[in-house]
Amino acid sequence: MKRHLLLLLLFCSLLGWSQKKNHLQEMKLNGKVKYLKIYEYNDGILELVKEYFFNRQGNIERNNVYEKDKLISEFIYYFDKQGRVSSSDIYYYGDHPKEGRLVYIYDKRGNSIQEEYYEDDKLQQYTQNKYDNDNHIILSTLYVNEKELHHFEFTYNDNNQLVEVKRFDSKNVLESILKNCYDSAGNLYESDTYSAKGKEYSQKMEYNEYNNITKDRFVGENYTSENNYQYEYDSYHNYINKKISKMQEKRNNLENVYLKEHREIKYYE
């Protein structure tokens, strides 16, 4: 499971790099952020603490995650002379400790054409990527044990926004389609997922003047949830407190969940 979650993280970061964004831009952080610490609470109970250390170019050098004051994972990033992530070391601690490394390979235009994941210096899996003339990823293929697991095809609109993702299995059978819609500020306000049977679930979002989500609603076949968000901001318009009121319905059973996020942010002078 961790391995596939890792690939998902890699895939998301890859989309950011393909659009030449640094980590601060991907995380929608304003100003020259040096350090970010996030406290995540569930019904008043602290669940996770996340730390991010940024360089002056706006990219993460180290990311630590704690659970009950115990370090559970650590990512360390390394950069080439062009300021791109060249590799990252990954450490998982706890009952099932694991060490891994991600290696990024770029083409002459600075696009990441291959990402490789190693454990004990042995290649475990990798993705290969193809781009269009605008440097957008149009095809990404995942290989595990030298065999294709699945691949993704991407479509963009005239504003260079990702509007469709198609996922295929190793036999080139279409598994799912994701369709996105954006508002005039460039925020994703609707995302629908389809399978061969039709629409599986839908998510709609609303935003405030700082482009932070104030409301989102998720509707699936057997699950519905609605989240409402409240924020407090610092002088850079980065939020330092976020309260989430979550109402979810599972098979006609209603449940209210209250989440909170507190952020400590330090800036370069």
Residues 60-92 have pLDDT tens digits of 999 999 998 899 999 999 999 999 999 999 999
Give the gyration radius of the chain's Cα atoms.
Answer: 20
Element holding 231 (H helix, E strand): strand 223-233
Global pTM reads 0.87
Asked, for residue 9, whether it belongs to a domain, the answer is no
Taking the CA of residue 243 as centre, how many other CA atoms within 13 Å lie in the half-sphere pointing to its CB?
7
Supply 67's token pair: 């659970």
Q: 108 and 62: one domain?
A: no
* Inter-CA distances, 19 with 26, 183, 242, Å: 10, 19, 28
Residue 27 has pLDDT above 50, yes or no: yes
Q: How far apart are CA 180 and CA 190, in angstroms?
A: 6
Instruction: Check residue 20 and give its pLDDT.
Output: 66
Element holding 51 (H helix, E strand): strand 45-54
Tell which residue, 148, 100, 156, has the closest CA to residue 128: 148
Round the average pLDDT of the chain to a whole number and report it.
91
Q: Would you state the torsion angle of the CA atoms of residues 164, 239, 16, 116, taken in this order, to the nearest 10 degrees? A: -110
Q: How far apart are CA 68 and CA 47, in angstroms?
A: 7
Residue 178 has pLDDT above 50, yes or no: yes
Domain end position, chosen among 110, 131, 152: 131
Instruction: Check residue 95 and give its pLDDT.
Output: 83
Asked, for residue 15, whether it belongs to a domain, the answer is no
Residue 2 has pLDDT above 50, yes or no: no
Asked, for residue 253, whether it belongs to a domain, the answer is yes
Q: 176 and 121: one domain?
A: no
**pLDDT class for 221, splitting at 50, 70, 90?**
confident
Element holding 3 (H helix, E strand): helix 2-18
Asked, for residue 3, whether it belongs to a domain, the answer is no
Q: 144 and 203: one domain?
A: yes
Q: 199 and 141: one domain?
A: yes
Asked, for residue 11, whether it belongs to a domain, the answer is no
Q: 119 and 142: one domain?
A: no
Q: How far apart are CA 125 and CA 8, in angstroms?
A: 13
State the pairing for strand pair 162-169/253-267: unpaired
Give residue for tokens 């995302």: 191
**Average pLDDT score over residue span 2-25:** 56
Q: How far apart are CA 226 and CA 223, in angstroms?
A: 10
Asked, for residue 219, whether it belongs to a domain, the answer is no
On whether the CB atoms of residues 246 and 224 are closer than 8 A, the answer is no
Domain end position, chosen among 207, 237, 253: 207
Q: 146 and 114: one domain?
A: no
Residue 207 has pLDDT above 80, yes or no: yes
Q: How far apart are CA 249 and CA 226, in angstroms?
A: 9
Q: How far apart are CA 199 and CA 214, in angstroms?
A: 25
| Domain span holding position 109 | 77-131
Residue 18 has pLDDT above 80, yes or no: no
Beta bridge partners of 104: 115
Q: Provide the number of structural domains found in the chain.
A: 3
On whether the CB atoms of residues 28 and 208 are closer than 8 A, the answer is no
